[in-house]
Amino acid sequence: MNMKKKFALWTFVLLLASSMYMLGTIRPDASAHEGSHTTEEGEAAEGSITVYLDGRLLSTPGSVSSDLAEIRVSPQDVADALDLSYRWDEGARTVYIDGKELPAAADPVKIGANVMAVAEPLANALGLQYDYDDAGHTVMLGTPKAEKQFHEEESKVRDVFEGKGLTPAVEADGTKTFTLTAEMADWAPLKGVLTTAWTYNGQVAGPTLRVTEGDKVRIKFLNKLPEPSTIHWHGLHLPNAMDGVPGITQNEVQPGKEFDYEFTASHPGTFMYHAHYDDMKQIVGGLYGAFIIDPAKKPTPVPASGDLADGMAFDKDYTMVLARMNVNAAMDDEPDYFTINGRSYPDTPPIELKKGQTARVRMINIDPVDVHTMHLHGMDFQVIARKGHPVKTVETMNTVLIGPGETVDVAFRADAPGDWMFHCHILDHTMNGGEHANMGAEMGGLITLVKVSDF
């Protein structure tokens, strides 16, 4: 073999050896720091996971072993979220929550700067529901309080959806008097998710106020919030002093004070009411509701065929208040939940009809930022009213755009049996935040179902 061939061969061997060295020493060393960390006791924890309690993100990521056999969370984060005392006895490797020692199965250990405990025994010891979603790498912990709150809300959510108004006190002169109390209260936009909302009468959306054209109306507003507030009657024709704009038509209603709004329900239509102080905080927090004025004139029968119109006697009358809700996000961030009457899919009630029945759906966009394009599968609807007024020409379509502060009323005949989606077609409005954000095909947000039965 000549010298040139020998030199080329040795060069190849040296390059190969160098490459094997790089792969054998540098690569394993790097991988040791990727997706894993080591406890003070020398145990390896493979990968991190997201941890939620009642839908609220805990600050310390959990950890999961590569075989999913061991899932750990921060007991201090859990204790803080539950407003319970926490103590770590490092010498005894023991955690005390609310003065009680965690069971041995929780096996608390120090991982880096954090104490971590096995998630399921920790949850069992504290009476929490426990679930692990391996697809989303997420631990969901839940309190009995969240479950109870969800079920307590059911009738309030359904009343708003079905257009049932708050019962007024009727005075001697016929004035209908309603009481709205603004207060902070628990609210569950989704099963297993609990937040502190800004509410009217303890609910989101607030109770529907439903009167008849020509009625004299009085709303007694009680402010039990930690800051001032007012109420604006969006789209209604009323005296200037009753418009609810602080600094222009009235003074702010201070905490602990009250104010009476009085006016006559001048014209029929679908309207809304909402806070008009610190708007982004108070409206996004939940201070809004539907205001419906029914016509004094008796509705006409729905024809067997042909166009539908405002003023007809539909079989069903539904209300959908479209909004955003920030459970984990800051007020100026993207919301983590979009809601219909304070609920996100799959926990929104369905529209239920028999084949051949007709329905009116009053859609109110109280969202201060987002437009919504509401789309019905399987059937067309007709737009019969916009912004509280009947349309001059009925529009037939399956998707309608609703801007912030607008209302659109649609009507349709249930002529196609089955379960049909009715949803916003801006698709990031049809997913839930929190622990449901990483569930792959899981849908959420501004979706309900139109369930048409064949009998």
Token pair of 145, please? 């309080």
Pairing relation of β-strands 358-365 and 316-325? parallel
CA-to-CA distance for 429 and 417, rounded, in angstroms?
A: 26
Which fold, 148-453? Immunoglobulin-like (2.60.40)
123, 105 in Cβ contact below 8 A?
A: no
pLDDT digits (tens, 9 = 90+) for 343-370: 999 999 999 999 999 999 999 999 999 9
DSSP 356: T
Instruction: State phi, psi for 42 to the nearest 5 degrees.
Output: 90, 5
| Rounded-to-integer distance, Cα 18 and Cα 20, Å | 5
Q: What are phi and psi of 83, to 5 degrees?
A: 60, 45
CB atoms within 10 A of CB 125: 18
Question: Residue 96 and residue 363: Cα distance in Å, rounded?
Answer: 50
Structure tokens at 63: 């950890």
> Which residues of the chain are under the pLDDT cut of 70?
1-46, 329-334, 434-441
Rounded Cα distance, 176 and 261, in Å: 12
Enter the tokens of residue 343: 């609920």
Whole-number Å distance between alpha carbons of 75 and 123: 9
Rounded-to-integer distance, Cα 65 and Cα 45, Å = 5
d(CA 332, CA 368): 11
| pLDDT at residue 46, rounded to an integer | 59
Domain ranges of the chain: 44-142, 148-453
Per-residue pLDDT, 332: 57
pLDDT score, position 327: 87
The answer to whether 344 and 448 have CB atoms below 8 angstroms apart is no
Q: What is residue 223's predicted lDDT score, i.e. its pLDDT? A: 99
User: Which candidate, 44, 194, 37, 54, places its Cα nearest to that of 128?
Assistant: 54
pTM of the model: 0.85
Residue matched to tokens 């935040």 = 433
What integer pLDDT is reported at residue 17 of this predicted model?
44
Closest CA to 122 of 59, 187, 76, 175: 76
C-alpha span between 280 and 274 (Å, rounded): 11
User: Nearest 5°: CA angle at 405, between 402 and 410?
Assistant: 40
- Gap between the terminal Cα atoms of the chain: 93
Rounded to whole angstroms, the Cα distance separating 338 from 257 reads 32
